[in-house]
Amino acid sequence: MDSLLAWVNLPLNTWLACAAVLMLGAFVQRATGFGLAVIGAPLLLMLEPRLVPAVLVLFVFTVALMMISAYWNEVQLGVVGMALMGYLPGNVLGIWLLLAAPIFLLGKMVAVIVLLTVLVTVCRFQLPVNRITVFGAGVLSGIFGTVAAIGGPPIVLLMHSLPADRVRGNLAAFFILTSMLTLITLVLADQLQLWHFQVALTFLPAVLIGNALAHAVAHRLDRRLLQEASLVLCTFAALGLLW
């Protein structure tokens, strides 16, 4: 274990705490459709800032891949495609912010993004689903997803009135495509190194366990209650970053 921690350059208590955060995030994402990044970004920034956004994006991609086979029939290709068109310019703006902002400002930005996510999720704003709103949600998703790996909430805002499985399917397809784009952008901007893959490999069992637990028990849980509990945790984490 000591040699493993030396390999990833993390102390044991930090590694264990990060593994627990990622396990919880994977559980919530599989159960509700999103949540890995919303939970993970503020908590990981406090525990180990080097993990955000690269490692989070890697695991958002991983969980989406595990989800897509179960919900493929629910995917609306037209909606996902239009959101992806908006994601591209948002991705460019996001990488500029990521490179230009110092780490302390990045933490504040992530906190604001998380609090906005909590606000729109709780208030359940109802917006029309059309090309303009989907494209705009894609732009915001590109910015948020590149800066903090939190690309889901703008899309969820438009889709929250849809059946739960359709939300999960559309988000899984969207996350697979956008995570790949974000990872390519991070490589080009020299924000993704071998160390990120090494440390992600050590956290993979925790993510797989969280995903498997959600697959086994999520249908027995109150989805809304689980989401609300997650949002409370996110709110406290984001407020901690602001202070």
Close Cβ partners of 117 (under 8 Å, ≥ 6 residues apart): 38, 150, 153, 234
Please tell me the predicted confidence (pLDDT) of residue 1.
Answer: 66
CB 40 within 8 Å of CB 25: yes
CA angle, residues 243, 38, 197, in degrees to nearest 5: 105
Instruction: Dump pLDDT digits (tens) for 81-128.
Output: 999 999 999 999 999 998 888 877 888 888 888 888 788 778 767 788
CB 88 within 8 Å of CB 142: yes
| Nearest in space to 115 (alpha carbons), one of 160, 86, 153, 58 | 153
Average pLDDT of span 12-19: 96
Please tell me the predicted confidence (pLDDT) of residue 101.
Answer: 82
More confident of the two residues 106 and 135: 135
> What gap in Å lies between CA 152 and CA 56, rounded to an integer?
13
More confident of the two residues 78 and 7: 78
Close Cβ partners of 46 (under 8 Å, ≥ 6 residues apart): 237, 240, 241
CB 193 within 8 Å of CB 81: no
Instruction: Dump pLDDT digits (tens) for 150-199.
Output: 888 888 878 877 888 898 899 999 999 999 999 999 999 999 999 999 99
**What 3 state SS string does 33-78 have?**
CCCHHHHHHHHHHHHCHHHCCHHHHHHHHHHHHHHHHHHHHHCCHH
Instruction: Dump pLDDT digits (tens) for 42-88.
Output: 899 899 999 999 999 999 999 999 989 889 999 999 999 999 999 99
Q: Is the pLDDT of residue 221 over 80?
A: no
The residue with tokens 């994006």 is: 57
- Please state whether the peptide bond connecting residue 89 to the residue before it is cis, i.e. omega within 30 degrees of 0: no
More confident of the two residues 21 and 123: 21
Please tell me the predicted confidence (pLDDT) of residue 203.
Answer: 97
Domain ranges of the chain: 2-242
pTM of the full structure: 0.88
